[in-house]
Structure 1
Amino acid sequence: MHAIAQTEAMDASRKADELNRRRLEEAMKLKEIKLKESIAEKLARQEKERYEVARKEAVHMMASAQQEASERRHVEMKTSRDVKEKEKLENALHGHVQQYQTFTWEEIVSATSSFSESCQIGMGAYGTVYKCSLHHTDVAVKILHSNENHNSKQFQQELKILSKVWHPHLLLLVGACPDHGCLIYEYMENGSLEDRLKRKDNTPPIPWFARFRIAWEVASALVFLHNSKPKPIIHRDLKPANILLDHNFVSKIGDVGLSTMLHADSSLSMDTGPVGTLCYIDPEYQRTGLISPKSDVYALGMVILQLLTAKPVIALTHTMENAMENGSLVEILDREAGNWPHEETKELALLALSCAELRRRDRPDLKDKVLPALERLKEVADRATRAGISTVRSSPPNHFICPILKDVMKDPCVAADGYSYERKAIEKWLEENDKSPMTNLPLAHKNLIPNYTLLSAITEWNSMEKNAPL
């Protein structure tokens, strides 16, 4: 029994030792597993941290790339705008900007009631003129007679010159329909100087002081044409029928279609055949075919003689010369013009005769001699006006008025609809609208182009208003 008990005790002891050994092994394995788990967790945290760092770097790089792209686009857009604005300014300075509005033939036909005779206000050798209203503005529409009018030299020349030059005493080109040889001008309420000197339709006579001023205005416009850049321009068809008067009797030269552009280094140009109107054509030009600025001086002399006398132009120089020699100048003056100042009128008559000399070399220089003399005589007329002859302050032309503000524009610009507006007014309009304030049609874009020609005209008008006699 003792042996059996001893054996069992030994077996129990071995089993206990075996159990302890296994327990230790399991404890070691568990510790090893926990260590591996700890290492794995640490590695996972490190990997996560590296991923987060990489993610943040990627986000930062993407944001930086987007910012750089945005800045680059902004710079490119600004550069593009600057280049376009520079081109606009350069084109404006060099006269390459189309300064007139293009009208459709349908608009012209509708406005003139299919060219009704009731709208017709004139007819010349090259075209017929109609009065109508376009875009709420009274205008004069000139339709050329030629079957191929839009390709005619006369039409292209008039369009070329009037779209590039502006002067307060040159008729303003409002627009054109090039495909049909149609030119649209500002409407001159008092018609032509010829009709007013003839007192057509029993209109009142032009007073002498206004005639002095008209002579200066016409001469100033000719000086401007003769000194235009890059090429001097000669009118070639100056006559009272081509001098138009607005509602304040301010004169403007029209019909520049026969004008000639001289080479900048020449004062003469050879023509294939004399053009213009008989009795106003320079005799030397008729004989030689050589045109020069002094050809316009001759025509100006004839116009001034008619301003003085209101008589037909035929043999008028001879009539005036005889009157000056006989001391009978007063007898041939237009008495309906009022009480002519004797000395100043005599000076104007002598100046006109010198301009109308047969030989070109005997005529005075327009800029250095004629214009200063006419300016002095204009000052005499202005003093007479201030001394007691009332004048009506001029109202601004319709195209000077902003369609939105209903006031004279200070910074006119052209919108996509072809109309000119005050910049601040149209910019405010475009913030809330996509349609034209005039036509109520959708605008193709919201870009605005400065209207330098109109700004120049408004500036000149404002200046004249400030200096006008009260």
Structure 2
Amino acid sequence: MDKGKGSSGSRVIAIALNGGAKSKYIVRWAIEKFIPEGNVAFKLFHVFPKITGVPTPMGNLIPLPQVRDDVAVAYKKEIEWQRTEMIMPFQRLLNSKKVQAELVLIESEDVAIGIATEITRHGIKELVIGASSNGLFARRVKGQLLSSVVSDCAPKFCTVYVVSKGKLEALRPSNTNMETNGNIVEHESTATNSTNSSSRYTNSTFDPGSTYSESPSSSPIGSLKHPDSLSCVKNGYNNSGISSAELASFQSANTRNVDDASISYVGTLTSQRSTFKTVEADTESWITDQASTRISSSCCGQASASRSLPASSVTQGNVNLELEKMRIELRHIRGMYSIAQNEAIDATRRLGDLSKLRNEEAMKLKEINEKEEKAKELAKVEKEKFEAAKREADYARERAHREVMQRREAEHKAARDVKEREKLKNVLGEPVYNYQKFSWEEIVSATNSFDEELKIGEGSYGSVYKCKLHYSTVAIKVLHSKEGAESKQFHQELEILSKIRHPHLLLLLGACPEQGCLVYEYMENGSLEDRLLRKNDSPPIPWYERFRIAWEVASALAFLHNNKPKAIIHRDLKPANILLDQNLVSKIGDAGLCTMLNVDPSSLSTLTLYKDTSPVGTLCYIDPEYQRTGLISMKADVYALGMVILQLLTAKPAVGITHVVEDAIKGGRLMQILDKNAGRWPLRETAEMALLGIQCAELRRKDRPDLKNILPILERMKDIAEKARNLVAMILVAPPSHFICPILKDIMDDPCVASDGYTYDRRAIEMWLKDNDTSPTTDFPLSNKNLIPNHTLSYAITEWKSKRRIRNATKWSLYSSQSLLCN
């Protein structure tokens, strides 16, 4: 492949870039200049200094020999990647034009030498560099611009284009073009056709004796001289052997051309467009005459010197170059005229804008003066208002100071009271109840991973499991979701039940707050609702136990209402939330909907309305006025207590129960609606209890009695119930536990001892041994199936039964007579 040609025989153009934003103008100029000319390829040169060290975070530089090889290689690759990314947008711009473009990174301390070396190695014949005011090639190296140094160092076979702001600033042709007739002319005419505006090229003056320099004080034409091209022409004369007289004649002609061009340039700045066209036509004709004169004189000189010096080709090339330079100067003059004309138009337009702006500013000044007068008058009025407000503020400040002093005194007094109260609490030793914390693993293990067989209840918020925890039978309430552990009801129930204790409030043993689990004491007989409605075929509750339960519930409510320092209202009292232990002792549970009053209950004896809340609770047990207005009071729990009393008497659902009982009392049918499973109700006490329940369930809270009036009545009913229960206990004495068969759970008729050492009823153990070989008590294998009669136990059972019959007959007569007295 020939040097200066691409891989497909295309013409190679080198573009030297500094990676800045100004480089895009160089690339765009190259695209407009060379792509229309035919098959071309580009090489993008970027020079960066040699890497001599690796920087540290502290700003120091470690020499490259002192750095590990892998670190040095990585740093070099990083720098190369950064440089490549800097030039990559220009490559993509060329590729978008469907032109081949190659990135060439040059590592050299001298930019000019690095570019010249790369051009020589690849044999590139055309180079484009930039000369913007703030670019890399605008730097000065020993007083010269870097673009000039690159032009000097570039090989002579390479044509150098210097571009500034997207326009051709200077041109240094190659020696090859100078030695061939017409090459420079064709090249420049092509550049002229490829650009739409003649202002893209900047004038260069042909002066064989000049050196490369720029003088800011010189004329516009003189300041655009390109020394490289001139020096090439000078060298061409010297090498061709032209005489010094011819060279001096040629220089004088060129000097006259420069003066004429300068004069015509100054004239265009002051004359009209038609005058400029006349000057332009005269200049072109003058250029043509000069060219023909030089050609003829060159030919004569060639004929006279043909014997001694064959230099016709060199002379013809210089003449063509001079013609091309003159054309460039003419195009530059046209561009300068167009710029001057545009600047004159812009100046006229700006003058009109300034005049308009001046008028507007004058109007604004007049308005400002008028506003200033009004502002002075307004300021006078405001000053008077300020004086009055200042006097008021001084008075308010004094009054506020007095109030602050009074408040500070009150705060000091309150702080002293708090300290004294705390001292009293410490002296009295007020107990602080806490709960035991259980881990989630303990809860899961105790419930056997929440086995369904251990579930004893389920509500809207969670499920209840019966299990063993720390060798005690407990009831564990587990919320349905972890979000429930963050709910207000969960934390409120945990706070209330962990701080208060009462015999008839459900005992909180512990909790797992993270997972929303509460551990209560286990209540063997379940809820009051289940026992009243006889769910799971549970035995009925006798009437005397119901009287006692009513008093226990009322006493627990009175304890909550009189809690200090804040009274507590349950808000969800109902039979489902009243639990019964193995002795039918009642306890109120589910304190999640409780609300606390921020005042001392002892100071509210005459008030009824305490707090405004959102109505919560269970339908039929909610206070109607609370449900309607949202105003909660202690009478809300009294209404629910009345509903519970009526259900204890009738064992009927809560819907419409007040109407049913009231109609029965009016019609004398009270005994007909009472629960028959509770035994023989005492008529007078039962009627009094029913009237109390109806009074508590009145629709208006002011018609309901207070708990302090209800408790004495229920306590009297409880005393009557205890006497009746004692009489029944005397009649129904439970047999000793060793009289009970482990299989039948009843008194044995024919006791006998099995091989496991336990005593069973003969009939029951024989039926067991037919199908099993293990003990019904220990579940271990039996050594044999022999049965030994227990005559001693059999005699004791027979004697106990006979005594019980006699005792029961005597006590039953006493019970019947007392019942008749009650009725």
TM-score normalized with structure 2 length: 0.36
Match of 2:723 in 1: 383
Which amino acid in structure 1 is aligned with residue 499 of structure 2?
K
1:172 lines up with 2:491 in the alignment = no
Match of 2:618 in 1: 277
1:67-107 deviation digits (Å, cap 9, x = unpaired): xxxxxxxxxxxxxxxxxxx99x8499555x35211100000
CA distance in 2, matches of 1:129, 1:93: 36
1:311 lines up with 2:652 in the alignment = yes
Q: When the two structures are aligned, how many residues end up with a matched partner?
A: 306
- Structure 1 regions of 5+ residues with no counterpart? 1-85, 394-470
Offset of residue 328 of structure 1: 0.1
CA 1:138/1:276 → structure 2, altered by over 3 Å: closer, same or farther? same
Match of 1:462 in 2: none
Match of 1:139 in 2: 474
Offset of residue 144 of structure 1: 1.9
| Contact persistence 1:194–1:241 (CA under 8 A) | yes
1:340 lines up with 2:693 in the alignment = no
CA distance in 2, matches of 1:268, 1:128: 35
CA 1:310/1:176 → structure 2, altered by over 3 Å: closer, same or farther? same
SS at match of 2:466: strand
CA distance in 2, matches of 1:392, 1:261: 46
1:305-352 deviation digits (Å, cap 9, x = unpaired): 000000011000000000000000000000000000000000000000
SS at match of 1:258: coil
Within 5 A, what are the aligned runs for 1:43-442?
A: 90=426, 93-94=429-430, 97-265=432-600, 268-367=609-708, 369-390=709-730
CA 1:92/1:189 → structure 2, altered by over 3 Å: closer, same or farther? farther
CA distance in 2, matches of 1:312, 1:124: 19
1:213-255 deviation digits (Å, cap 9, x = unpaired): 0000000000000000100000000000000000000000000
| Contact persistence 2:597–2:611 (CA under 8 A) | no
1:191-222 deviation digits (Å, cap 9, x = unpaired): 00000001111111000000000000000000
| Contact persistence 1:233–1:259 (CA under 8 A) | yes
CA 1:156/1:179 → structure 2, altered by over 3 Å: closer, same or farther? same
Offset of residue 269 of structure 1: 3.8
| Contact persistence 1:234–1:293 (CA under 8 A) | yes
CA distance in 1, matches of 2:582, 2:525: 6
SS at match of 2:510: strand
Hey, which bits of structure 1, 4+ residues long, moved more than 4 A? 91-95, 390-393
CA distance in 2, matches of 1:240, 1:392: 30
CA 1:137/1:190 → structure 2, altered by over 3 Å: closer, same or farther? same
CA distance in 2, matches of 1:98, 1:385: 35
Which amino acid in structure 1 is aligned with residue 642 of structure 2?
G
CA 1:129/1:361 → structure 2, altered by over 3 Å: closer, same or farther? same
RMSD: 2.1
| Contact persistence 1:357–1:363 (CA under 8 A) | yes
SS at match of 1:274: coil
CA 1:90/1:126 → structure 2, altered by over 3 Å: closer, same or farther? farther
Offset of residue 270 of structure 1: 3.5
CA distance in 2, matches of 1:342, 1:377: 12
CA distance in 1, matches of 2:427, 2:568: 20
The structure with the larger Rg is 2
CA distance in 1, matches of 2:527, 2:433: 28
CA distance in 1, matches of 2:527, 2:612: 28
CA distance in 2, matches of 1:156, 1:392: 46
SS at match of 1:336: helix
Which amino acid in structure 1 is aligned with residue 485 of structure 2?
H
Offset of residue 388 of structure 1: 3.4
- Structure 2 regions of 5+ residues with no counterpart? 1-421, 735-823
CA distance in 2, matches of 1:98, 1:249: 26
CA 1:381/1:148 → structure 2, altered by over 3 Å: closer, same or farther? same
Which amino acid in structure 2 is aligned with residue 144 of structure 1?
L
CA distance in 2, matches of 1:277, 1:199: 21
More displaced 10-residue stretch of structure 1: 97-106 or 135-144: 97-106
Offset of residue 389 of structure 1: 3.5
SS at match of 1:256: coil
1:1-59 deviation digits (Å, cap 9, x = unpaired): xxxxxxxxxxxxxxxxxxxxxxxxxxxxxxxxxxxxxxxxxxxxxxxxxxxxxxxxxxx
CA 1:269/1:117 → structure 2, altered by over 3 Å: closer, same or farther? farther
CA distance in 1, matches of 2:686, 2:573: 22
CA 1:280/1:335 → structure 2, altered by over 3 Å: closer, same or farther? same
Offset of residue 181 of structure 1: 1.1
| Contact persistence 1:142–1:183 (CA under 8 A) | yes
CA distance in 1, matches of 2:429, 2:615: 33
Offset of residue 120 of structure 1: 0.7
CA distance in 1, matches of 2:513, 2:458: 20
1:376-420 deviation digits (Å, cap 9, x = unpaired): 001111111223334889xxxxxxxxxxxxxxxxxxxxxxxxxxx
CA distance in 1, matches of 2:468, 2:672: 44
